[in-house]
């Protein structure tokens, strides 16, 4: 059993700000903290994990940043975690997504559980920041993953290398050059695929664009995301986490087109995630050509937010 499988869910503790703590507005807009000569190099900030303990000043400030955010899950009598294993329960209730408006401005935070309830999405209260990593090896093959059977949303579907969320923590809220999102991508590539941080330096991710989409998973769950599309070309060591990933494969362009054909024909029960299919249909193959030519910077457009359906 993995270490994460033994972690039990503990409801978050409400923490009051002391009078000495500056108001949340003092922390906006977010910038990389100033470092003294004795401070670690800024690149090490990506390994910082902000907790909710009373000893963490930043966590206390941001736990109260948006008083309207719903961070406490429903009572256990409502069985909100019915059917979840221990790992997914912890992620759904402890991880807090970054709520944004349609212009990608931060408006608050909420649990992953609340952000993915379809009823909340339909009410327009759950738009959150996300990222999708497309990792290519030196042969320009794309690494795909099949999501594990225990995933709450979209289990067993095939998708791009890694899809997840930057969390409401200091290192992943840095807006400049999408550094917060790139920090989160490095973290999740290790969590899901066991790819070491040194194999995917944050400065090697190329943010190419942003999409906004909404998609149901089933009657209870769905996605409503403002998704950063990150490309990276690296040969990496991969050791998938079975709690997150059922299978992986590298594909070239022709092999991906065959997967698309099978998914469209309903062959072999093969399904693709809706966000991956949107990227494939709108951007992927022309961006893939830039990967092969070494001209990815020509494809980047981080000013537009593409609303896709």
DSSP 8-state symbol, 3: T
pLDDT computed for residue 84 by the predictor = 72
pLDDT computed for residue 125 by the predictor = 85
Which CATH number is 250's domain given? 3.90.79.10
Q: What does the pLDDT look like over 231-283, one tens digit per residue? A: 999 999 999 999 999 999 999 999 999 999 999 999 999 999 999 999 999 99
- Using CA atoms, how far apart are residues 243 and 246, in angstroms rounded to an integer? 8
Q: Are 88 and 150 in contact (CB under 8 A)?
A: yes
pLDDT computed for residue 121 by the predictor = 95
Q: What does the pLDDT look like over 121-177, one tens digit per residue? A: 999 989 999 999 999 999 999 999 999 999 989 999 999 999 999 999 999 999 999
Average pLDDT for residues 32-38, to the nearest whole number?
36
> Nearest 5°: phi and psi at 189?
-65, -35
Structural domain including 273 reads: 4-307
What positions carry a catalytic annotation? 163, 225
> For the chain, what is the domain count?
1
Residue with tokens 């670690």: 40
| 198: CB partners within 8 A, 6+ apart | none
Give the β-pairing of 222-233 and 206-216. Answer: antiparallel
Provide Rg for the chain, Cα atoms. 19
């Amino acid at each position: 059993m993995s270490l994460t499988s033994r972690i039990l869910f503990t409801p978050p503790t409400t923490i009051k700000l002391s009078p000495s703590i500056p108001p949340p507005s003092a922390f906006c807009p977010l910038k990389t903290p100033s470092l003294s000569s004795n401070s670690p190099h800024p690149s090490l900030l990506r390994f910082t994990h902000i907790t909710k303990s009373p000893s963490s000043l930043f966590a206390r400030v941001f736990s109260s940043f948006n008083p309207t955010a719903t961070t406490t899950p429903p009572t256990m009598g409502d069985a909100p975690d019915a059917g979840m294993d221990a790992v997914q329960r912890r992620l759904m209730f402890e991880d807090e997504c970054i709520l944004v408006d349609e212009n990608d401005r931060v408006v608050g935070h909420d649990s992953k559980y609340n952000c993915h309830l379809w009823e909340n999405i339909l009410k327009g209260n759950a738009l959150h920041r996300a990222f999708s990593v497309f990792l290519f090896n030196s042969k320009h093959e794309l690494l795909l993953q099949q999501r594990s059977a225990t995933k709450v949303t979209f289990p067993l579907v095939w998708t791009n290398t890694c899809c997840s969320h930057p969390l409401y923590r200091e290192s992943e809220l840095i807006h400049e050059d999408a550094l917060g999102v790139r920090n989160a991508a490095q973290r999740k590539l290790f969590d899901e695929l066991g790819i070491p941080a040194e194999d995917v330096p944050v400065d090697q991710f190329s943010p190419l664009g942003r999409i906004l989409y909404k998609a149901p998973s089933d009657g209870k769950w769905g996605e409503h995301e403002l998704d950063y599309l990150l490309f990276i070309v690296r040969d990496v060591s991969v050791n998938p986490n079975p709690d997150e990933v059922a299978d992986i494969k590298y594909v070239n362009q022709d092999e991906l087109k065959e997967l698309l054909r099978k998914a469209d024909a309903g062959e072999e029960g093969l399904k693709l995630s809706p966000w991956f299919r949107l990227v494939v249909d709108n951007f992927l193959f022309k961006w893939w050509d830039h990967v092969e030519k070494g001209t990815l910077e020509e494809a980047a457009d981080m000013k537009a937010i593409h609303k896709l359906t």
